[in-house]
Structure 1
């Protein structure tokens, strides 16, 4: 049975939760394999809106087993809060499974994230301040705390004390902050032991057995391609691999398990935080996209930077991830525009680039080369078939498909669950 990946093709906020929800009734496991609570998915079910930050969006689908696997960094306070909030709204959260090997975000990770970002001043990366980067840094430096450590108080204390021996020196002597007590950290982490006990397991084995039993496994990436630590707009990226390769290392399933790669891409482009953004708009067009698309971060509430569709970025995402299908979202936001520009290439110091420049400095100075397409004024939120869309909207979709490197298999025409035009079966 297939293992399917859903990732974002741009800088995040493309609507990956919507795509996961679209496949929800056809999958058995939904796996979050990277990132933490620094990104969010908004899923609308009928009159109910759910904002998820750490949990896989599959938790909203009855019968699906949601999994937080080893590649995720887990803020236990956030996990507890989300589970309680969903449980209070009648959602069954007892199915959640969490990897014993997943790393934990502690109080000192959050503190270091915030003070370091402030210290950088104008050189800020634009992190969410939630401790994601410092937790991953500890993981790579082999001084991290894992979920399994919480069940051995002696080991947990040793690791926390060892970590704070250095980190307190940095906090006190460099940032002029108070030292963090190891006892406070240990006591806090131990308080989640009872909550975690029924959900912690070897998720790699769980998923392997699921595949052996002909179950369908869906991988849900946190963040997106252009924020990938290796392939994104470094250093303005996240601290994990949000691309297809990360699904294997972040879950314990082999690379050949992936049979479908679905990349979600907006009909325009947005970004939160610092970093280059060639098609960014600073005029009324940007304000229009932000207002019509309600472009404010699910997790942070920050207004998103908005720009036109970037075809070279789409081709890059298709190549890096091995995309089999694109899901185009928020097409309805473009309704009412007389013309819709699309970036088809870049001009860098007088040289035309059909693909994204490998040099970060070139990309930072890239000027988009646009091709304009006629817009439409009709309300498309009621469309359910391709033929229901205005001709100009159909032409826009066809043009994007030709220049983006893979087929467009579904189109979002509104925020609600059923407001989707399906062109091809995502699992076929």
Structure 2
């Protein structure tokens, strides 16, 4: 039977999932995005050309593959259409035969983005979450409140308009009396989104049925997650999290298939740690080494352009990721960024008022109340970007990888030594 694979980020996002998905896509027939919105960007470099995708699965760059957007995603129709246009301008022809959207996928409406920005502006200091302002949170709120607009609603304009009016009625109370902003006019927003929602119609499909059909035909499926484990709404560093479940287990609910269809989990781990926005970060480096990681790793958000905070690899965070996702394999990315550092440190535990911890504390902002315990490993000077086998890596780089495997009990099967598709070692 074909092996279905789930790819998830094991840190706070930005681990390089896009490249790993792109690599694994060659072995599958179907790629499914199962959660999140356009608050995440997957950057791929193919033959020196950089492509950033926010909603459309990374597998779209491969011919003869079927890409699906699941019900667990919140989709901005305008962003989706602009992404289509961008791909077509690069010569990547995308149509309803190669890309489908679940009719159950919730849509991000213009008022969601306005509400997102208004909330973040009103927050002060430590209360700021660092949201991208893309409307993702408010769209998920409406989904849970059962006032959301689903993709299938674009096929019934009167229903969609009625649902918008109901949603906006409540939000205008907030806009006027809490945020001191003018009320939203449904008519204006309806007219603004019509060109985008009209273009969605040919792409709508029963994604659950599509996955079942492929599965029964014995063809492999790849499930593509967005963000990272520690941004999960339930298990992440709450409240500094995203608005969806980012764990491998959600690939089932977020795409419409049974959990028995998930055969293998690949956890993507960056060779150091980064974080965007606010939130506790025990191994953060605000020094020359941190700037080295940021510069050499080009650590700037694909969606927002914001500089990412950088720090040493945190194995405590990764132990929790392995416990939550149960990966069979790790894909280690950006190992080349560590080249040139005389010593490399890894966090193997936390000191806290409760003693030594091997897993993150579970109280709110618990990570801000711990001190990292480090193990120091030798660094390497060699440029490893052209190396294509594990045996050819410097001894110190091999030792670093073995340390990760020993601490986490999971094999590092894929190693990325550069952004291009070809700069990858498969063990």
Query: Which residue, out of 208, 221, 224, partners 2:225?
Result: 221
* Structure 1 equivalent of residue 113 of structure 2: 110
Conservation of the 8 A alpha-carbon contact between 2:20 and 2:331: yes
What residue is the counterpart of 1:426 in the other structure? none
Q: Which residue is equivalent to 2:322?
A: 318
Task: State how far apart, in whole Å, the 1-side matches of 2:5 and 2:410 are.
Answer: 16
| C-alpha distance in structure 1 between counterparts of 2:424 and 2:153, whole Å | 44
Distance 2:237 2:282 in 1: 12
For normalisation by structure 2, the TM-score amounts to 0.97
User: What residue in structure 2 maps to residue 52 of structure 1?
Assistant: 53
Is contact 2:34-2:225 (8 Å) kept?
A: yes
User: Is 1:112–1:134's contact at 8 Å kept on the other side of the alignment?
Assistant: yes
Q: Does 1:298 align with 2:299?
A: no
Aligned mates of 1:44, 1:271 — CA distance in 2: 22
Contact 1:297–1:304 (8 Å) recurs in 2: yes
Tell me how large the CA RMSD over aligned residues is. 1.0
The count of residues paired between Structure 1 and Structure 2 equals 423
Q: Which residue of 2 aligns with 1:408?
A: 412
Over residues 250-299 of structure 1, what are the superposed CA-to-partner deviations in whole Å (9 max), with x where a residue is unaligned? 01111111000000001100000111111011111111100010100000
Shift of 1:361: 4.0
Structure 2: 5+ residue stretches without partners: none
Q: 2:340 aligns with which of 313, 331, 336?
A: 336
Partner Cα distance (2:213, 2:354) in 1: 55
- Per the alignment, in what secondary structure is the counterpart of residue 249 of structure 2? helix
Aligned equivalent of 2:350, options 328, 346, 353: 346
2:237 touches 2:365 (CA, 8 Å); kept in 1?
no
Taking structure 1 as the reference length, what is the TM-score of the superposition? 0.97
Distance in 1 (CA, whole Å) between partners of 2:362 and 2:23 is 35
Say which of 97, 101, 121 aligns to 2:100: 97
Task: Tell me what 2:394 maps to.
Answer: 390
**Unaligned ranges ≥5, structure 1:** 424-428
Residue 251 of structure 1: aligned partner: 255
Q: How does 1:271-310 map to 2 (within 5 A)?
A: 271-310=275-314
Give the stretch that moved more between structures: 357-366 or 335-344.
357-366
Show the 5 A alignment for 1:10-409. Answer: 10-94=11-95, 95-122=98-125, 123-349=127-353, 351-409=355-413
Aligned equivalents of 2:37, 2:329: Cα separation in 1? 25
For the 8 Å contact 1:227–1:236, the answer to whether it is kept is yes
| Off by >3 Å, runs of 4+ in structure 1 | none
2:319 and 2:94 map into 1 onto residues whose CA distance is: 38
The residue matched to 1:108 in structure 2 has which SS? helix
Q: Spell out, residue by residue over 1:349-373, the C-alpha distance to the aligned partner (whole angstroms, 9 max, x if none).
A: 3711112222234322111000000
CA distance in 2, matches of 1:70, 1:187: 25
Query: Do 1:151 and 1:193's aligned partners in 2 also have CA atoms closer than 8 Å?
Result: no
